[in-house]
Amino acid sequence: MSSPRLRKQFDKLYDRYINNTSGTQIDEIADLLCCTRRNTRMVLNKMSDEGWISWTPAVGRGKSSALAFFSSPESVNYGLAKRYINEGKLDVALDILEGNQDVLLELIHGALGVSHEKGKQVVKLPYYRQLQTLMPSLAIRRSEQHLMQQLFNGLTQLNKRGDIEGDIAHHWDMLTPTHWRFFLRPSIAFHDGKPLTFQDIKDTFFALSSNFVFSHIQEVTNPNLNVVDFILTTDDYYFDSKLTQFNAKIIPNTAHESITYARSPIGTGPYKVSENSDKKLTLIANEHYFGYRPLIDSVEVWTLPNIAPIQLKLGFEVYEGDHSVSYGEQVDADRGCTYLLLNRQSGLAADSDWKEYLSQTITPLLLLNELQNANMNGIGLFNAYGLLPGLQHCLNRKKIAFIQPEKGSIVRLGYETEHPLYPLLGAIIKRRLALDGIKLVIKEFDTMELLDSECTAHID
């Protein structure tokens, strides 16, 4: 690929000779580029190899040579930036474009979407942060949780209608409310070819013993081939539904002691990780998947941290089968919501007056209106009446009188790093509380800190 120096030399050559209708001499070009005749020929040959010019040297000293331009400096920079974008070098591309983000976005959108490379269907998606915590027990963010469905399998799963159906287990029975039996599909293998064993299942749930959802698992046994029994300490009529959760996905027993597993996980799912770098995450179809093989051969998630998500086209819908595959045409409601959680155990909200003040002061409509004023309404936010679209948990809530907090009080807010929306919401909350003389202190957490109760104990 051409060097910055070669592009600058091309700029000089273009400015000097673009309107020249007569021939040129090598000595003139050498003086212009401050090179020897020999180096000038090398430079011209490189430009010709790049397809920027046509150079036909004349025979004999002092005779004019023919120089023709096939590109302009703008088209050269455009083409080079496009090449760097395809390599994931966005910072270099932006430098070539002299900081012009509009052109950069145009090139990015051209590179994203669906393409066919070497006979394979490839989907390229943009994302604002790296996806490097791909272990089911650590996946607390929505994007990671979605990826869990592609990389791993649980004993049971939810279908699109929200009904429980088999996954690794093809059938199960509740023998008693404290004794569940699951019948496994035979010959399931992990992405590395290792067979799925009973020990993998047992160790997966042993590692979840501190999770309150699974803390009542007393014993996991293997009474027969491809049969797993769960013995519980308390009655649980919905144990099969709990096994559909993302953190109940089965992982190899060797994963629990691996320090690199979260970045390069091995599961049994329809896709497997082939690359997870700072610049992109690449998933490829699992050719030995026990279910239906994905129709999309490869998915690339590009990390674009310095580009506001409002500038990227929202929505990606892949229709498999007879339908076409399109990018940026359909936006569905996310299966979740953003919510403000009050710490009623050790935070200010343990006091009922503080709880009511915060609940009635920091409202969804306040935040939405302020975001709209900040030109962020295009990101696709709307008021959540429940934890999931279509559910209504927050209607007709009665307002309870409260004593106004003292001026000068300090409220501590925490949120996860690398989220484009959270700093904006934090700033809105800070301005609103300041109207009542209350100071807001903000603390950002990474995923591991957010999972550590000691780190978050002092957040309100």
For tokens 């005779």, name the residue: 63
Cα–Cα distance measured from residue 167 to residue 188, given in angstroms and rounded to the nearest whole number: 11
Burial of 270 (0-12, 13-18, 19+ CB in 10 A): buried
What is residue 166's predicted lDDT score, i.e. its pLDDT?
Answer: 95
Please choose, from the candidates 402, 414, 285, the residue with its C-alpha nearest in 3D space to the C-alpha of residue 346: 414
**Which residues, 6 or more positions from 95, have their beta carbon under 8 angstroms from its beta carbon?**
none
Q: Could you name the CATH architecture of 136-255?
A: Alpha-Beta Complex (3.90)
Residue 443 tokens read as 């603390």
Right CATH for 4-71 from 1.10.260.40, 3.40.50.620, 3.60.15.10, 1.10.10.10: 1.10.10.10
SS3 317: strand
Query: Going by DSSP bridges, is the β-strand pair 179-184/227-232 parallel, antiparallel, or unpaired?
Result: antiparallel
Residue 59 tokens read as 């025979």
pTM attached to this predicted model: 0.71
Cα–Cα distance measured from residue 148 to residue 133, given in angstroms and rounded to the nearest whole number: 10
**Domain spans of the chain, in order of start:** 4-71, 74-111, 136-255, 270-327, 348-456
Q: Are 206 and 220 in contact (CB under 8 A)?
A: yes
Is 136-255 the same fold as 4-71? no
Ranges assigned E (strand) in 139-240: 156-158, 164-166, 169-176, 179-184, 217-221, 227-232
Tens-binned pLDDT, residue by residue, of the chain (460 aa): 567 788 888 888 888 888 776 678 788 888 888 888 888 888 888 888 888 888 887 766 666 778 888 888 888 888 888 887 777 677 677 777 776 767 777 777 777 777 777 888 888 888 878 888 888 988 878 888 889 999 999 999 998 888 999 999 999 999 999 999 999 999 999 999 999 999 999 999 999 998 989 999 999 999 999 999 999 999 999 999 999 999 999 999 998 888 888 889 999 999 999 999 888 899 999 999 999 998 899 998 888 766 555 444 444 444 444 444 444 444 455 566 788 888 888 888 899 999 999 988 888 888 888 877 765 555 567 777 776 666 666 666 778 888 888 899 999 999 888 787 888 889 999 999 999 999 999 998 887 787 777 888 888 8
> Backbone dihedral region of 381: left (phi > 0), alpha (psi from -120 to 50 degrees) or beta?
beta
CB atoms under 10 Å from CB of 156, counted, come to 21
